A and B are shown apart, each in its own frame.
Chain A
Amino acid sequence: MSLLLATLDRPAPVLQILLGRDPALWVTLAWDVMLVMGVFLGLVSVIGFIAIWGERKVAGRIQHRHGPNRVGPVGLLQSLADGIKLASKEDLLPGRADAVLFYIAPYLAFAPVFTAFLALPFGPDFVFDRTLSVSLLWVLAILGVEVIGVILAGWSSNNKWSIYGAMREACQLISYEIPLGLSMLVVVLAVGTLDLLKLSEMQSHGLQHWLVFRQPFTAAAALVFFIASLASNKRAPFDLPESDSELVAGYHTEYSGLRFSLFYLAEYNAMFVMSGVMAVLFLGSWADPFGLIAHGYAKAIAGGQRWTPLLWNVAAAGVFTFKCAVLMFIQMWVRWTLPRPRIDQVLHACVKVMVPASLALLLGSAVWELVVAHGSMTERITQTVLAAAGVALVVATLVLIISAFIQGRQNQQRLGGPWPAGGA
């Protein structure tokens, strides 16, 4: 029996609570299908609608205007109205576009984001796949597929602006995946698990257990992660793939109607997923700062109660969504505040600042865990000495590289050209 099948056969905890016993296999399967079809699709569209409304409201307030305020109370139904408008529009295909790729690209961009929800822990039991032990890596992996959808959208449109957008997306994403992964690794190194559920449980007993407070390095890694997640979601100031003041709309210039709205749904749900991952990695996941939910849930489970665990789960989902909402608000705030850099500046910031910074954080986190973590005295001393030697080696290499860099720059100034003479 493989692990994948174990996933399919396992009784869903929520289902167990509802039925009061182990459900039959077909009930579990039906439940899963219902979850995927109903809850996740519903969740995805509701998140999309509310986030788009929120973005326009935030943008309005920052620019000293009201934002949407006509449709529904405080304009809440504006997204729905826009959705209906988009759905009734013609689905255009540019004359010399690559039809097949043009049609599948929006789905390729949207489906992975939707799939990433499978791994997000909304509560102690509110997670689709409990047995996935590499859920953190899974989210990173599946969001990588989204990139391909975006690139193909830009390429298949056969439009110069779209291709520029797609190329920028490709190089930006490839670059920023490194600091993103490394900043995740800082946390993974500290706690030793890739499982989002375990990470959540670990932090559920109060503010002092939240991983952002575990080390100075994890706090810094949170910052790196946030910046890299902005870049991987194509959010301003890293919205170069669609930079609307230069490239019309970048990779989705040629899209209209429902396909266009799929890109929007994908973008806002990717924001939610990334915020969710950040909440799990650094900000205590579904736990409140006082550990009330974890305590109440544990007590309810121990007491053998039937409905109370479910209520605690709902509370946990509320807290989790609130954290995601706050993080998404910060992303919007950043978007409407900062100007957009050029693509070379974006890549410069990644390769020359973020990657070295996240590597240094990884090193620091490792040393911190060695020095502060438990272990016998001799072991600790040996490891510290070894670690110090490692750090010295790395610092020496860095100094070497920097001095070579400075040397090169001096050469360049002396020779007056971009390249030293004869230096092929």
Chain B
Amino acid sequence: MAAALFYIFAAITLVGAIGVVMAKHIVHAAVQLLVALLGMAGLYFLLDAEFLAAAQLVIYVGGTLVLIIFGVMLTSHLGTRLMRVGPGETAIAVLTGLGLLAAIVTAIIHTRFPTPPPSVEPDVTRRLGVSLLGDYLVPFEIASVLMLAVMIGAAYLARRRPKDAA
């Protein structure tokens, strides 16, 4: 059962990822990204990371992806021409990607991994919260400062300029 679920979610994720690569239109790519992200959330559930799965959905799907689609809608419309690099560069890119994939897979095959622990770890969410505000307090605070900086920076960058008003 675990194997079947893994292959289903992995297939969903891969279909989405390949869709992002191949999609003709940028909004189609965004939808494929949604598929990939949903598959990833399923994989997180399989890996006992329930909180992470839900957070993935809230932040990526509900936040980042909506932002991306919003950005696409602001900057393009139906029938915008395809923005891709030429065939030669595409070939180089695909070769790079596949070469990297081959290298990583070879490395994985030749590595001996520890056998997985069979246990289900209880109360993951609570422990996650404790470690966020315990061991990882400083990174947590830095991340919040970063968010503040991002908020101000984004508002500054996207503000209306005097010349736009005129």
A contacts B directly in the complex (CB < 8 Å)?
yes
Asked if A141 contacts B61 (CB within 8 A), the reply is: yes
Shortest B63–chain A CB gap in Å is: 7
Asked if B62 contacts A170 (CB within 8 A), the reply is: no
In the complex, what residues of A have CB within 8 A of residue B123's CB? 133
Shortest B73–chain A CB gap in Å is: 6
In the complex, what residues of A have CB within 8 A of residue B14's CB? none
Shortest A120–chain B CB gap in Å is: 15
Asked if A418 contacts B165 (CB within 8 A), the reply is: yes
Residue of B nearest to A167 (CB): B73
| Contact A138:B54 (CB < 8 A) given known A145-B61, A419-B162 | yes
Which secondary structure characterizes the binding site on chain B?
helix
A8 to B120, CA, bound (A): 14
Contact of A133 among B34, B63, B79, B125 (CB under 8 A): B125
A26 to B46, CA, bound (A): 20
Q: Across the A-B interface, how many residue pairs have beta carbons closer than 8 Å?
A: 124
Asked if A141 contacts B162 (CB within 8 A), the reply is: no
Residue of A nearest to B70 (CB): A170
A181 to B21, CA, bound (A): 33
The answer to the question of B83 belonging to the interface, with a C-beta cut-off of 8 Å to chain A, is no
Asked if A137 contacts B2 (CB within 8 A), the reply is: no
In the complex, what residues of A have CB within 8 A of residue B78's CB? 96-98, 158
Contact of A145 among B5, B55, B57, B67 (CB under 8 A): B57
Asked if A147 contacts B66 (CB within 8 A), the reply is: yes
Asked if A177 contacts B73 (CB within 8 A), the reply is: no
Shortest A189–chain B CB gap in Å is: 11
Selected interface stretch from B23-31, B86-94, B104-112, B134-142: B23-31
Asked if B162 contacts A148 (CB within 8 A), the reply is: no
A296 to B2, CA, bound (A): 39
In the complex, what residues of A have CB within 8 A of residue B28's CB? 100-101
In the complex, what residues of B have CB within 8 A of residue A147's CB? 62, 66
In the complex, what residues of B have CB within 8 A of residue A140's CB? 54, 58, 62
B residues near A (Cβ < 8 Å) are 1-2, 5, 25, 27-28, 31, 34, 38, 45-48, 50-51, 53-58, 61-63, 65-67, 69-70, 73-74, 78-79, 118, 120, 123-126, 160-162, 165
A residues near B (Cβ < 8 Å) are 1-6, 8, 96-98, 100-101, 104, 132-134, 137-138, 140-142, 144-145, 147-148, 151-152, 155-156, 158, 163, 166-167, 170-171, 173-174, 177, 181, 192, 194, 417-419, 424
Give 6 CB contacts A-B under 8 Å.
A96-B79, A133-B125, A137-B54, A145-B38, A170-B67, A174-B66
